[in-house]
Structures are given as structure tokens and as C-alpha cells.
């Protein structure tokens, strides 16, 4: 990435949906961006698995020259639990552009797209030490549902996070507190009952979950 790329302001960025016709332009850049920062070494087949089937759930932030600044990759399918489950598989923003809300924007676009397609919930895993990722997702209303011991190939432990988009008893508005003690921003969860939501170590968790 050139200096001028790093200097482009957030307002210069375009947020676009991935499309298969753009594979030769963007897939190499997506792989490079993701593989630089994520601990899991994904093969080209993993990227194609997601992008061939759910390219419409992949959003990219591009600078004015068309360089890839950030990307989110997702899928949405029926889960054995009976839910129509969205999954955020990959998320990364170029280091020089972090802390400006780019990932938040990408994740919000992905959540909107999955909600429009009638998703019941959205899940993901993130390393327990990934403060930026945890902060971002919890600000959007995601809850810690499980602690996955040594989940990653590098031996690191993960949290599974979940965002409920629907409730068995209808939509509920968010009532949980974020780190600052305020209601979370744009997205709420809807649990069957607010009793399901607890707070442990200052973080929202699903009661009865495996988060210690
Ligand atoms: C996680 C990542 C995508 C966030 O991208 P981003 O564009 O910087 O995210 P945003 O600016 O939308 O939000 C990041 C939030 O984390 C906070 N944050 C960033 N670094 C932090 C740190 N070291 N400690 C605490 N908070 C931190 C920011 O302040 C911001 O929160 P705020 O808006 O409440 O202030 C980016 O750091 C990244 O690409 N990391 C490497 C790949 C990765 O870890 N992906 C996630 C895997 S699940």
C-alpha cells in the first residue's frame, strides 16, 4: 500500500458488494489482506467456498484508486439447530486505516444484508485477546456465547459471539450495557427473554452459556 493510499480519508472510501465478475480484480487482494492478519491459513478453496455461494454477503471498502482497504466475508445457511444462521467468517482492515470505523461499517452492511434475507442470528469466532474485534462486535450487540479452548491452529482460544436478530416472542430492543455503561449502538439482539442476558466481567454474555 502506498502512502497516498494510507492517507486517503474514510470519506473517500467506497463500500461495494463483491461480485464473481470481480474475482480476478479483488480475490488476490482479499487473500493478501486476510492472510496478513488472521492466524488461520486459508486455501484458495476456502475463499471460493464463501465467495461463490455468498459473494452477495461480502463487502469491500475501496479507496479512490480501487485498492482494497477492508473486507468482510460471510455466509448464511440453515443450521442443524433449526435456525437460519449467518456467519461472519473473515474481517480485516489495512493496518494504516484502522480505528476509523471501517470494519464497523462493513459489519453493519453484512448484518443488514443477512437480516434482509431473514437470518435468525449471526455468529462468529474471535480470539479472546482480540480487543479491537471484541469491542467492535460487542458495541453492535453481539454476546459471548461460548469459550472455545485452543480453537485456532495457533493454539489460541476463541469466544463465539452471537447476535440475535429475531426472538421467539418477537423483536426485543437492546437493554444490555456496553463497556461505557450505555446501550449498544445500532443493532440489538432479541433473546427469548431478557433474563437470558447477563453480564460477566463487564461483558454481555448469554446466561447458561459456556463462557466462564
Ligand atoms: C478488528 C479490525 C477488523 C477492526 O477494524 P477497524 O476498522 O479498526 O474497526 P473500527 O474502527 O470499526 O472499530 C474498532 C474498535 O476497536 C477499538 N480498538 C482498536 N484497537 C484497540 C485496542 N488495541 N484496544 C482496545 N480497543 C481497540 C477502536 O477504538 C474501535 O472501537 P470504538 O469505535 O468504540 O472506539 C482490525 O483491527 C483488523 O483488521 N484486525 C486484524 C484482523 C482481525 O483481527 N479481524 C477480526 C477477526 S474476528
66: CATH: 3.40.630.30
In this structure, of 17-21, 26-30, 92-96, 169-173, the range with the lowest mean pLDDT score is 169-173
Four-CA torsion 56, 84, 169, 192, nearest 10 degrees: -110
Residues ≥6 apart with Cβ < 8 Å to 110: 57, 59, 72, 74, 86, 88
Q: 37, 88, 98, 102: which to mutate for ligand 1, most atoms within 8 A of CB?
A: 98
- Is residue 97 located within the same domain as residue 182? no
Asked which of 119, 150, 171 is the last residue of a domain, the reply is 119
Ligand 1: residue whose CA is nearest its atom 19:
132
Q: 131 C-alpha vs ligand 1 centroid, how far in Å?
A: 7
- Is residue 201 located within the same domain as residue 163? yes
Structure letter (DSSP) for residue 136: H
- Is residue 41 located within the same domain as residue 61? yes
Ligand 1: residue whose CA is nearest its atom 26:
132
- Any idea which residue has 484458495 for its cell? 44
Q: 139 C-alpha vs ligand 1 centroid, how far in Å?
A: 11
Q: 36, 132, 178, 202: which to mutate for ligand 1, most atoms within 8 A of CB?
A: 132
Cβ density class 136-174: b for 16+ within 10 Å, e for less: bbbbbbbbbbbbeeebeeeeeebbbbbbbbbbeeeebeb
- Is residue 134 located within the same domain as residue 75? no
- Is residue 113 located within the same domain as residue 23? yes
Choice between 63 and 42, residue whose per-residue pLDDT is larger: 63
Pick the closest to residue 68 from 44, 37, 43 (CA basis).
37
Q: 4 C-alpha vs ligand 1 centroid, how far in Å?
A: 22
Asked which of 104, 119, 134 is the last residue of a domain, the reply is 119
Instruction: Express each pLDDT in 68-123 by its tens digit.
Output: 999 999 999 998 888 899 999 999 999 999 999 999 999 999 999 999 999 999 99
Contact 119, 74 (CB under 8 A): no
- Is residue 78 located within the same domain as residue 151? no
- Is residue 110 located within the same domain as residue 193? no
CA distance 164 to 166: 6
The yes-or-no verdict on residue 163 having pLDDT over 90 is yes
Q: Which ligand 1 atom sits closest to the C-alpha of 94?
A: 39
- Is residue 113 located within the same domain as residue 125? no
> Strands, DSSP E only, in 79-166?
84-93, 121-127, 143-148, 158-164
pLDDT score, position 59: 98
pLDDT score, position 199: 61
C-beta atoms surrounding 118 within 10 Å: 10
CA distance 86 to 174: 19
Q: Which ligand 1 atom sits closest to the C-alpha of 126?
A: 48
pLDDT score, position 189: 40
Q: 127 C-alpha vs ligand 1 centroid, how far in Å?
A: 13
Residue numbers of the domain that contains 153: 121-212
- Is residue 17 located within the same domain as residue 60? yes
Pick the closest to residue 47 from 34, 56, 61 (CA basis).
34
* Number of compact structural domains in the chain: 2
Pick the closest to residue 171 from 184, 154, 187 (CA basis).
187
Q: Can you give the length of the chain in residues?
A: 212
Contact 144, 160 (CB under 8 A): yes
The yes-or-no verdict on residue 209 having pLDDT over 90 is no
- Is residue 6 located within the same domain as residue 92? yes
Q: 138 C-alpha vs ligand 1 centroid, how far in Å?
A: 11
Q: 105 C-alpha vs ligand 1 centroid, how far in Å?
A: 12
Q: 130 C-alpha vs ligand 1 centroid, how far in Å?
A: 8
- Is residue 140 located within the same domain as residue 109? no
- Lining ligand 1 with CB less than 6 A are 37-38, 91-93, 98-104, 126, 130-133, 135-136, 139
Asked which of 119, 142, 170 is the last residue of a domain, the reply is 119
User: Measured between alpha carbons, how far apart are the two ends of the chain, in Å?
Assistant: 41
Average pLDDT estimate for 48-73? 97
- Is residue 98 located within the same domain as residue 191? no
Amino acid at each position: 500500500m502506498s502512502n497516498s493510499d494510507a492517507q486517503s480519508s474514510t470519506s473517500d472510501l467506497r463500500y461495494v458488494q463483491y461480485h464473481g465478475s470481480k474475482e480476478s480484480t479483488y480475490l488476490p487482494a482479499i487473500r493478501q489482506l486476510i492472510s496478513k492478519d488472521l492466524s488461520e491459513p486459508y486455501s484458495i478453496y476456502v475463499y471460493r467456498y464463501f465467495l461463490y455461494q455468498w459473494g452477495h454477503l461480502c463487502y469491500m471498502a475501496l479507496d479512490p484508486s480501487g485498492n482494497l482497504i477492508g473486507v468482510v466475508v460471510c455466509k448464511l445457511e440453515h443450521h442443524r439447530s433449526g435456525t437460519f444462521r449467518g456467519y461472519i467468517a473473515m474481517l480485516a482492515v489495512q493496518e494504516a486505516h484502522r480505528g476509523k470505523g471501517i470494519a464497523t461499517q462493513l459489519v453493519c452492511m453484512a448484518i443488514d444484508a443477512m437480516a434482509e434475507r431473514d437470518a435468525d442470528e449471526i455468529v462468529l469466532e474471535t480470539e479472546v485477546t482480540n480487543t479491537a474485534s471484541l469491542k467492535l462486535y460487542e458495541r453492535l450487540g453481539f454476546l459471548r456465547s461460548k469459550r472455545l479452548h485452543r480453537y485456532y491452529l495457533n493454539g489460541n482460544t476463541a469466544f463465539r459471539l452471537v447476535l440475535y436478530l429475531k426472538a421467539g416472542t418477537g423483536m426485543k430492543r437492546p437493554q444490555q450495557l456496553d463497556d461505557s455503561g450505555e446501550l449498544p449502538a445500532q443493532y440489538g439482539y432479541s433473546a427469548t427473554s431478557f433474563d437470558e442476558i447477563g453480564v460477566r466481567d463487564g461483558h454481555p454474555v448469554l446466561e447458561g452459556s459456556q463462557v466462564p
